[in-house]
Structure 1
Amino acid sequence: MDYLRRKSDGRWVVRVVVPERLREIVGQKQFERALGRDPRTAQKRAYPLIAEFQATIARAERQLELQGGGNGSSRPRRTFSLSEIAHAHYGEELAIDESARNIPGLYTSLPFSRPIRADGLRRVAAGIAPADETEALIGWAVNKFAEREGRESPLEPAERQSLARTLALVQLEIVEREAERDRGHFTGTPALPILQRPMEAQEPELEPLKLQDLFNAHFRELEIQGAGAEAKLSNRIEAQPPYRVEG
């Protein structure tokens, strides 16, 4: 992970550089957070922090647009690389998982559905799942990134299928991390090559959803498994600003 660095004193830190055009708004050239001396723990903690830093950068990007008197519609759209999408999805979903575990009772029914869910994701990743199963299992994630790209037309079928297969592989890694956390292990790392390699970042940074929107996507996924309605009724989540900038 390119953002994870070891200092000369043995401490690991996560570091994300702020694009030059946004430094006046953000108030610093980079974000850096100490992660301790254990490399496995450092890698585990790095993903949600990267998502946090990217969220702050994305808010600064929007603020810059407002200061320029525009709504951003004149900015050229760009397509995110698979590397960006994979890293962003992995980090965001694990951040959701961590937050959801702090809500009493939310995870009661989930472990029993994970094996079935994983089997479906493997079919999607292999390209052998029916279209309706693909959409039910991972279509929400494909749509999430298509919306972030500001596309005016739907993805071509082959492009959508390719992205769905990649996201299914990433989601399988997430399912594995969730299962490990159920057993009390919080140091697991991904085996998927695209997640092991440094993210091929492009500017502007990925614009993450608000934490409340991420939870809404999480509940939509639960509804697919038949657990969403009960979770919504028993867990009212107040939207709070989830990120802060540390100087």
Structure 2
Amino acid sequence: MAGRVRNLLNRDGRYFARLVVPKELRPYMGGKTELRTALGPDYRTALKTLPGAVAALQHKIALGERRAIEAGERSITIGRYPLLPPQIASRDYRMRLAHDELIRAHYHQYAGFEVDYEKARRFRDGYSGKLSDDELERLVGEPIEEFKSLGNHTATKGSVEWRLIAQALCVSAYEAMSRQHERNDGDFKGEPSHPLLTTAQPAEDDRQPVSLKGLLTDYLDERAADGKGGEARKRWTPVFASLSKFIRHNDARKLTKQNVLDWKDASLKTLASKTVGDVYLASVRTVLKWAVNNDRLETNVAENVRIKVSKKQRSREQGFTLDEAVEVLKVARDHQPKHSANPQTREAPETTAAKRWSPILCAHTGARIAEITQLRKQDFRYENDVPVVRIRPDAGSVKAGNYRDVPLHQQLIDLGFMDFVNRAADGPLFYPASKKKDGTLPARTVAGRVSDWLQDKEVIPEGVSPSHGWRHRFKTVGREIGIADRTLDAIQGHAGRTSGDDYGDVTIAAKAAAIARLPRYEF
């Protein structure tokens, strides 16, 4: 009798698919105790449409289970992101075509292989219902389990839902093989013809949006807890604002690879390829990867979106030559600010000091210019009568994220630098103290002024960075006189090249001995 068919309900001559809602899920499904779908008055039609209707109702219950999971009511297992069989087939079809495109891009011989027509026939028999469960498992068992591991279904072999999924996957595989055959003949315009794929509804998605900007904030907050990420917060925040503005929403779950590709192309119209590749795309990849690792997103759609940036052709060495270095140091030593009666245009004494001292400090420490311009009086001390500067992140920003101690060269002492430090007020040496801004912004501002000033003086040769030219020269001179690379790296704040570099310490005494060997600049 009809009433004995599982999940089939007869009410006054009309048939319904019916599922009971588990008690623990009812608060997350509007208080409903059961779900029904009308199947009409004809018994044979009702039996034919019952499996699909039951699968749809099971999908709704799985969505209720997910809401319960997100509310903390149940442990997360499988079934987190349920899909109907046609939706699973649609995703499988797209994945197969994407794999086909990838193989064609890497192996040109691939297009010469013929389609396995016998296997195609088996897929056709599978979706027509001719195959047993065991035969279906051998044919599409692997993708069934893959989608199950992704949380798209909870079906077990032998159930109605399992067979519906298996038959749907036979459809997607058969249609994908048809596209492969067409592509071998150069036709890339083919579309699926089976109704299961052409009428598949987009996957229902009632999860809460995941804020792109919120992911960035959470990632940076986690980095900040480890004392890192301060510089990234300033550089990456406008990047994520740009991406959100371009795609016209802020939901990371709706972000697609095509969105990222289009954003990349649009950004390249106004920005250098290195900036787009190394800052824009790299930051989005990093944050989305973190989101995937922390179960905030399912996939990192930006993972393979990259720009191949050709290395800039160099026509000379990257560091200053000795003559060029001496010329820069002479200009710095002789700098006198222009007289101005207007306080608004008068050069601040801290800026004057930065212009006079930062070049020679860079020359003898190999430090980055912003690491110099952020220095404070309290960053200097004596160790066994050796003056030492501690370059540390709490003063502003340190690229490697860790502090480092650098002994001062005797030439700096002879020029009176420590006398200048001793006379200075507590706080920053090269910019006015402010409670409103941390040291990174003003230090970078002053560093930019020093670089612009030196370029205006026309003492910076083409192809050399006004600040990084000193870092290159420091390393070059150190190697010339036989200082070990590990010691130079420790002084300059470069990461070690091997895991062995992490063992032992390069002491202040070792650094002081190395710096004492560096030649003086005669200017």
Normalised by the length of structure 1, the TM-score is 0.48
Normalised by the length of structure 2, the TM-score is 0.24
Report the structure number with the largest CA radius of gyration.
2
Structure scoring higher RCO (CA < 8 A, sep ≥ 6) equals: 1
